[in-house]
Amino acid sequence: MRLLIAIAILITSIMPARAADDAAFTAVLSKLPEASYAEKSDLIKQLVEIHRAGTKELLNAFLEGRLYVRDSDKKIFIVESSDDAFKLTDAVTNQTAGTVSQDGFSKIGVNNQLRRVLRAALAQFDLASPDRDARLAAVKEMQRSMDADTTAALRDRLAKELDSAIKKEIANAVALADLSSDDAKVRLQAVTTLHGSLNPDVYNRLQGLLEKSPEGEYVEPDEAVRTAAAAAITRIDRWRQIYSAIETLLFGLSLGSVLVLAGIGLAITFGVMGVINMAHGELMMLGAYTTYVMQLLMPHYIGASIIVAIPAAFLVSGLMGVLIERGIVRFLYGRPLETLLATFGVSLILQQLVRDVFSPNNRPVETPQWMAGSLQFNEALSITYIRLYIIIFTLAVFAVLLLTLKHTRLGLEVRAVSQNRNMAKAMGIRTEWVDALTFGLGSGIAGVAGVALSQLTNVGPNLGQSYIVDSFMVVVFGGVGNLWGTQIGGASLGIINKLLEPYSGAVLAKIFVLIFLILFIQRRPRGLFPQKGRAAEG
Amino acid sequence: MISRSMLDSIKNDRGGSLLLALLAAAAVFVPLFNLAVPATSALHLSTYTVALIGKYMTYAMLAIAVDLVWGYCGILSLGHAAFFALGGYAMGMYLMRQIGPRGVYGDPILPDFMVFLNWKELPWFWHGFDMFWFAMSMVVVVPGLLALFFGWFAFRSRVTGVYLSIITQAMTYALMLAFFRNDMGFGGNNGFTDFKDLLGFDLHRDGMRISLFVITALFLALSYVASRYVVSSRAGRVVQAIRDAESRTRFIGYRVEAYKLWVFVFSAIVAGIAGALYVPQVGIINPSEFSPVNSIEIVIWVAIGGRGTLYGAVAGALLVNYAKTYFTAVLPSFWLYALGALFVLVTLFLPRGLVGLLSKVTAKAEQA
């Protein structure tokens, strides 16, 4: 009881000081229902200038279309609709006014123009927020509708802001506004501030300075400002070109990484062993399905499931590979064309198996949280995390494989067998064992590639088929029996593809790449990096 | 002269003689059972069945084409479906032009899909396809030329074995992607369908179906005889020598590339004609015919029948496709397992296919 009285006293003591504000506020507010949209935006600015508590809630409600006027007494309420009723809050006193039926109220209309004004106005409230991200968002929001007020607010903030990134952002926004200043010096200063910005708005505004009016006169009367603007545009253009080249390169690399992933397992089975494995695509498919199963097994840890899926997929596809080698391929060594046909048979069986066990339809594989989104370098350059991780992942797989082949006992034996089977046998290497393990290794890598592909394409029974031609191409292009060749070949094919795409479209680019490869093989039948020495014989 | 030596080449060919006799019997009896026997009789062959057998026979021609290059020359082409589809598209273009103003949009010249894409005039490569003789020459010329260019490049730079297989696969894959595009002017992924008539005869009438059947049987016989003639000619022997020992043949002084090229081109033309016969009987052609999987399937027909025999290829094509039709209707999911197992088992245990198995069995019977 005592507490309530204390609060009541407190409120009444503040009242007189705010009475004048309240009057102005109510006066402005009461004009709102009848005003045109243009007038409304003026009224909003007046409301903001009154600096009264509760304005933010009011504007927010307005933005969300929850501001209504009661037809009987023209009082304005913030409403929350539930079922058929309105829960009312008085817009002036900010006190709840009961729940009534929706009849007898009219909404105060908002349009997109007005929404932008409202958002900018609201952003001003956030400009002083202690949260850095909120401030940054506020600045960006305000940039979208710059006028004298917002500029003034930003200029105000510029002096107080401590965070350098936000400071730069504000400076740009202010400079953008200053471009319309009457003072040539201010304009020149603004152009100088803007000359490193990659914001498309800045570019357009600077471009606008150089244009001529229909009468043939420059829009920008001052020579020095024009020169500075032209210089800034050239600079921005150059940077944009560089960034877009980097972007194409990154896109190409990520596409190339997919190709490398698809091809690198094949490079082992085909390159090192001389065996054509047409079921390679289906081994990738198995890897992708393993990812799916892992997500089913651990539905609450999607982010971790993909990590677990990598060794699991390696095992599943690797074991399948060993099975194929022991069951079929070993009877067909030295008859590559027959191996091709038999393994194609295996691929059909695996496809049908997946259709029967899972479903003929694509399975949904979720992308873990930590792979969503994109890495924003600046306004002209960003790359999605998936692309980035694919590139890194491919390099990791490649490094592991290379180290395995170069520095392990198995790698040594694999190389020995691939160079001279009989000699290796004579030295006591169990070539059959090595064959099975090599095939298993190549297949396991295909499974790991499948994990990556599950994040990029649809996981379905046809996943393998769509990659088989590509992966053969990469191996043949890079040079058979050469992991470096596969890596470089895949990456360059990806980049070529992405370089062509803007000019010809994705499908034509792919066709051109295929034609290029067909012609390339005529010139260099053994690929980019042919094997030399003894391994090349026979 | 040539016909005399062609006959000679058949004389000692038991399997071939049997095949030709069967084809002749089919050409006589199938129309008889379809047209003369009333529909209520057990012996009646429905028009659907006739078209189905007709389709199988075009596949058999395709198998002969693949057997020529693979069984006799050792070139494992994984792109022969491309030649088949190109022949089919040439025929399809003629059939599309024949529709004339009877299309859905009623445009007298432009096919429906072009009207749909808002094209104003016929692309240049569509001109002439309203004339039957021109379209038919394209059936031969287009696949032939593609094979000529492709083979000339590939054989001259001595791309062999698996590499050749892979680039033929890339070729058909690239063509598939290309034909899927609407801008190519070949109907995009819908391809051509809804044909009305051929040379003025309604394609949907039983009589026309039967005529197409007999013509297909005739062409199958003809391509068999011609292929047999080719392989038993002097040049054909060189081709087989190339298959068995390419370098040795080259060192003896034969121009290996030239022989390979001509076999390849001839084979592509046979495949193209097969495609042209396929389209009016099936009533549709679309880019999926180019799919690399189709090409591999042809190879398995040949492998199952027995490669390097020609008639084995025909038998393989007929058997596998009959089994496919049967099982996809009765046990749909079983078919792919069966086909997959066939690939594996035939390559492991029947390197010479069913024909090889048969001759082994008869040889044993004679010994006993």
| Torsion sign, CA atoms A332, A334, A340, A343 | positive
Q: CB–CB of A85/A110 below 8 Å?
A: no
- The angle subtended at Cα B27 by Cα B24 and Cα B33, nearest 5°, is 130
Q: Which residues pair with A107 in a beta bridge?
A: A68
Q: Which of B178, B293, B296 sits opposite A511 (nearest CB)?
A: B178
pLDDT band at A396 (very low <50, low <70, confident <90, very high): very high
Task: Note the pLDDT tens digit of each residue in A3-46.
Answer: 666 565 555 555 554 556 777 778 777 777 778 887 887 887 77
B301, two tokens: 């027909």
Residues in chain B closer than 8 A to A528 (CB atoms)? none
Contact B180 A517 (CB under 8 A): no
**CB spacing of A515 vs B174 below 8 angstroms:** yes
Among chain A residues, CA nearest to B161: A337
pLDDT of the residue at B365 = 81
Q: Which residue range is the domain that position A142 belongs to?
A: 114-221
If one counts the domains in chain A, the total is 3
Interface pTM, i.e. ipTM: 0.82
In this complex, the residue of B177, B299, B336 whose CB is nearest that of residue A511 is B177
Residues A428/A257, Cβ–Cβ less than 8 Å: no
B340: which chain A residues are within 8 Å (Cβ-Cβ)?
A: 345-349, 352
Kindly state whether residue A319 falls inside one of the protein's structural domains.
yes
Task: Check whether residue A389 and residue A257 sit in a common domain.
Answer: yes
Instruction: Please judge whether A338 and B347 are an interchain contact, meaning their C-beta atoms are less than 8 angstroms apart.
Output: yes
Residues of A in contact with B348 (CB under 8 A): 328, 331-332, 342
Identify the domain boundary among A91, A110, A129: A110
Mutate to test the interface with A, among B78, B176, B302, B336 (most CBs of A within 10 A): B336
Query: What is the C-alpha separation between A188 and A40, in angstroms, rounded?
Result: 35
Query: Would you state the pLDDT for residue A536?
Result: 43
The residues on A that touch B, with CB distances below 8 Å, are 276, 278, 328, 331-332, 336-342, 344-349, 351-352, 355-356, 465, 468-469, 472-473, 476, 507-508, 510-511, 514-515, 517-519, 521-523, 525
Mind telling me how many Å the CA of B347 is from chain A's nearest CA?
Answer: 6
| Spatial CA neighbour of A442 closest among A391, A469, A481 | A481
A75 vs A54: CA distance, rounded Å: 16
The pLDDT value given to residue A19: 59
DSSP B188: G
Residue B7: the pLDDT is 64
CB pair distance less than 8 Å for A521 and B76: no
- Of residues A354, A220, A222, the one with CA closest to residue A285: A354
* Residue A344 and residue A419 share a domain: yes
Chain B closest-CA separation from residue A355 CA (Å): 9
CA-based nearest distance B339→chain A, Å: 7
A263 to chain B nearest CA, in Å?
14
- Span A49-53, average pLDDT: 71
- Could you read off the pLDDT tens digit of each residue along chain B, which spans 368 residues? 455 666 666 667 777 888 888 888 888 888 878 777 777 777 777 888 888 889 999 999 999 999 999 999 988 898 899 999 999 999 999 998 888 788 778 777 788 888 888 888 888 888 888 888 999 999 999 999 999 999 998 888 888 777 888 889 889 999 999 999 888 888 888 888 888 888 878 777 778 888 888 999 999 999 999 999 999 889 999 999 999 888 899 999 999 999 999 999 999 999 999 999 999 988 889 899 998 888 988 998 998 888 888 899 999 999 999 988 888 888 877 888 888 888 888 888 888 888 888 888 888 887 76
* Interchain proximity B163–A508, CB inside 8 Å: no
Mean pLDDT to the nearest integer, A167-187: 76
State yes or no: pLDDT of A255 exceeds 80.
Answer: yes
Q: Closest to A337 (Cβ–Cβ): which among B76, B171, B337?
A: B76
d(CA A366, CA A302): 7
d(CA B27, CA A367): 60
Task: Record the tokens describing residue A324, joined without a space.
Answer: 């194929």
CA separation (Å) from A434 to A265, A326, A409, A412, A442? 16, 11, 11, 10, 12
As given in the structure block, the two tokens for residue A337 are: 């064309």
Average pLDDT across chain A, whole number: 80
Are A146 and A42 in a shared domain? no
**A422 and A317 belong to one structural domain:** yes
Q: How far is B299 from chain A (nearest CA, A)?
A: 8
Residues A135/A126, Cβ–Cβ less than 8 Å:
yes
Position A532 in a domain = no
Across A61-65, A430-434, A468-472, B3-7, which has the greatest mean pLDDT? A430-434
Q: Which pLDDT tens digit goes with each residue over A456-499?
A: 888 888 888 878 888 888 888 887 767 888 888 888 888 888 88
Q: Measured between CA atoms, how close is A523 to chain B, in angstroms?
A: 7
pLDDT of A537 above 70: no
pLDDT at A538 over 50: no
Confidence of residue A531 (pLDDT cuts 50, 70, 90): low
* Closest by Cβ to B181, choosing from A278, A356, A507: A507
Same domain? A128 vs A103: no
CA distance A389 to A375: 11
Residue A154 predicted with pLDDT over 80: no
- Which chain A residues contact residue B341 at CB under 8 A? 345, 349
- Residue A383: pLDDT band (50, 70, 90) is confident
Q: What is the pTM of this model?
A: 0.76
In this structure, the strands spanning A67-70 and B201-202 are: unpaired
Least confident of A93-97, A148-152, A370-374, B143-147: A148-152
Q: Are residues A102 and A119 in the same domain?
A: no
Are residues B296 and A525, on separate chains, in Cβ contact within 8 Å?
A: no
What residue segments make up the domains of chain B, in order of their start? 2-286
Residues of chain B that touch chain A, judged by Cβ-Cβ distance less than 8 Å: 76, 150, 153-154, 156-159, 161-163, 165-167, 169-171, 173-174, 177-178, 180-181, 292-293, 296, 299-300, 303, 333, 336-337, 339-344, 346-348, 351
Domain assignment present for A235: no
Inter-chain residue contact B336 with A349, CB threshold 8 Å: yes
Burial B285-319 (b: 16+ CB within 10 A, else e): bbbebbbbbbbbbbbbbbbbbbbbbbbbbbbbbbe
Point out the residue among B166, B181, B336 whose CB comes nearest to the CB of A476: B166
Q: Which residues contact B213 (CB under 8 A, 6 or more apart)?
A: B27, B30, B31, B50, B51, B53, B54, B57, B281
- Please tell me the distance from the alpha carbon of residue B240 to that of residue B300, in angstroms, as a whole number: 21
Question: Mutate which of A275, A324, A339, A341 to test chain B, going by most B C-beta atoms within 10 A?
Answer: A341
Is there a single domain that holds both residue A293 and residue A193? no
Select from A352, A357, A468, A537 the residue whose CB has the most chain B CBs within 10 Å, as the one to mutate to test that interface. Answer: A352
The residue-averaged pLDDT of A386-396 equals: 89
Chain A residues touching residue B333 (CB < 8 angstroms): 352, 355-356
List CB contacts (< 8 A) between B351 and chain A. 338
Q: Which residues contact B149 (CB under 8 A, 6 or more apart)?
A: none
Q: What is the CA radius of gyration of chain A?
A: 34
Chains A and B: how many Cβ contacts under 8 Å?
A: 117
pLDDT score, position A9: 57
Q: Closest residue of B to A274, CA-based?
A: B162
